[in-house]
Amino acid sequence: MPDSDQARTPDAPERVDEVTRALSDLSRLLDAEEELVRVLQRGVDQATWAIPSADLVSVTVVRDDRAETIAANDERVRAIDAQQYAVGEGPYLEAARSGETVRANVERATALWPRFARVARAAGVSSFLSSPLIIADKFAGSLNLYSAQPHGFGDLDEALLRLYTTAAAAAIANARRYAEARALAENLARALRSRAVIDQAIGVLVAVQGVSPEQAFSDMSRQSQNSNIKLRDVAGRIVAQARRHPE
């Protein structure tokens, strides 16, 4: 959603080397296997360098329907973002609602988001550029740029921001997949440990009571239900008792 006013557009040839380097850094960012906040912070730092007019840069992430600034190049931007979340209006929220990149100068911002614009002007911000983070067709946050210049962002800046948004979205998606895989591994490990304890308890009952493995398991299951105690805990008590009082 470009600004209706003519944005400042730097001479493209002057920035060819800068953009080439930015794309190379972006590729390395996508390949990085680091903790999510660190990856997003690196993306913020690179975007700050690659887009000269970006005085303040932040990444907003939505968790449990709550917006949070998870990375920023300056503490001032966290206060600006927080006000945007509080008043319920601003470029980040516009990007969230439209699913499109939002570009605006201070005049347009005042017309669209008057409460947010007052806070931004007080912080010396005059231009805004926000691009949504879309993961699996769902809005997950945004990458936000703020400039002190009245017409701080041009078409090349907007295109480059989309590239960094891709990197940020990939980092978040990778972190989620890692978290899901880790949770699955932990659940499987717990299940295997439970199975091992249950098998040990069955062995104890077979040896001590002379029952079949099937009967031993049935007895433990009934005790678990009657006492409202998990089966693995019942099995653990049987194994612990057998260790304290070996036959």
Domain boundaries, the chain: 12-180, 184-244
The gap from C-alpha 85 to its chain's centroid, in whole angstroms, comes to: 17
Q: What is the CATH number of domain 184-244?
A: 1.10.10.10
pLDDT in tens, 64-106: 778 889 889 988 899 899 988 998 888 988 888 888 899 998 8
Work out the angle at residue 163's Cα, subtended by the Cα atoms of residues 92 and 29, and round it to the nearest 5 degrees: 105
pLDDT in tens, 5-63: 444 444 555 555 566 566 556 555 545 545 677 777 877 888 888 888 889 999 888 87
Residue 203 phi/psi, 5-degree rounding, is -60, -40
So what's the architecture of 12-180 in CATH?
A: 2-Layer Sandwich (3.30)
pTM: 0.61
Task: Write down the H helix ranges in 51-113.
Answer: 75-87, 91-98, 106-112
229 Cβ partners below 8 Å, 6+ apart? Answer: 223
Cα 154 to Cα 51: distance, rounded to the nearest angstrom: 10
